[in-house]
């Protein structure tokens, strides 16, 4: 990258292989460099994947002459605009933000961001506060939904709700993706009814199908979706007895909004009853659901199914 940024007219493949560190040590002048050329082709793809504008220039008067193609990275296309500058603290925070996306669909974007930051010439390798956060992306639907939102496309997908045996096909206008309580949600408008809906990405089954252009829906959909989820969280209240000193007592007592309403009894908030039932059932005899009845029944059903499956 440094070599290609430093030349205005570009470098041929032979000039790169014979002079750039990493290639030059293995380059044989006038000999067989087929393996090195294959590595160069792979590296070229990697550079483009990192978001670097790598140009290919044909020699004047010789169109189609691949042997004398020249490669360059136009400095003006890669540099930040003159009016955009960051100090070292801002660089560190941007680096931390990029490091947070370490898996799933956004790992490529985070790599591009880090390369761009390092190209500014300001070191940003020191961790902030000695740690780096991680945002996990295990939902296959995240990337196609992100693309559909960016491209303003209507999407179709199969959605399996708790208690239903078969998934139902939904056709929606995707508006925003938000993370709430550690899980990703899609805020959308149902095409048939015009109603606003929130879908949990982990319940989307199969592939996302992106289709025709979606009508414009201006507004801060992310903020509205988070406010809606907050309202659901406020309404969802459960009273649970926990065994003193147990793993359940330690984990549940420190959750946001949880309060001890009586010795050994916790009042919790939740967004999704089925997800909370899964979690409470995993604690076995360490928890006992008092209210609401639907949550109590859901936990009992999971425990009974476990007994039936495993004895």
Mean pLDDT per 10-residue section of the chain, whose length is 311 residues: 82 89 86 89 81 82 72 78 78 72 58 63 48 60 88 93 89 92 90 91 91 88 92 96 91 90 94 94 95 96 93 79
pLDDT value for 131: 47
pLDDT value for 307: 93
Structural domains in the chain, CATH included, are: 2-78 (no CATH), 88-130 (no CATH), 142-222 (2.30.30.520), 236-310 (no CATH)
188 φ, ψ (degrees, to nearest 5) = -150, 170
Residue 259's H or E segment, with its range, is strand 259-262
pLDDT value for 240: 97
pLDDT value for 94: 75
pLDDT value for 301: 95
CA nearest to 226, candidates 256, 263, 271: 271
The CA distances from residue 121 to 78, 80, 196, in Å, are 13, 12, 46
Distance CA(173)–CA(212), nearest Å, equals 10
pLDDT value for 113: 67
pLDDT value for 62: 67
């Amino acid at each position: 990258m440094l070599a290609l940024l430093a030349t205005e007219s570009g470098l041929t493949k032979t000039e790169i292989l014979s002079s750039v560190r990493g290639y030059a040590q293995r380059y044989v002048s006038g000999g067989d460099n087929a393996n090195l050329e294959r590595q160069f082709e792979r590296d070229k793809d990697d550079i483009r994947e990192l978001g670097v504008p790598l140009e290919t220039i044909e020699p004047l008067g010789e169109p189609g002459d691949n042997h004398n193609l020249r490669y360059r990275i136009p400095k003006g296309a890669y540099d930040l605009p003159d009016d955009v500058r960051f100090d070292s603290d801002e660089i560190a925070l941007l680096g931390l933000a990029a490091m947070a996306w370490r898996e799933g669909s956004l790992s490529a974007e985070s790599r591009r961001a880090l390369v761009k930051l390092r190209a500014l010439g300001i070191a940003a390798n020191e961790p902030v506060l000695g740690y780096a956060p991680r945002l996990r992306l295990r939902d296959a639907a995240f990337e196609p939904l992100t693309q559909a939102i960016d491209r303003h496309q209507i999407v179709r997908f199969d959605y399996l709700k708790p208690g239903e045996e078969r998934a139902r096909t939904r056709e929606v206008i995707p508006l925003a993706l938000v993370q709430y309580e550690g899980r990703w949600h899609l805020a959308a408008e149902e095409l048939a009814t015009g109603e606003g809906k929130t879908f949990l990405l982990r319940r989307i089954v199969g592939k996302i199908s992106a289709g025709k252009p979606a009508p414009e829906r201006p507004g801060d959909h992310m903020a509205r979706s988070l406010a809606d989820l907050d309202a659901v969280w406020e309404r969802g209240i459960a009273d649970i007895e926990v065994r003193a000193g147990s793993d359940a007592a330690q984990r549940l007592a420190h959750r946001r909004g949880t309060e001890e309403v009586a010795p050994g009894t916790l009042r919790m908030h939740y967004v999704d009853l089925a997800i909370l039932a899964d979690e409470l059932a995993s604690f076995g005899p360490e928890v006992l659901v008092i209210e609401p009845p639907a949550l109590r029944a859901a936990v009992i059903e999971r425990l009974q199914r476990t007994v039936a499956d495993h004895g």
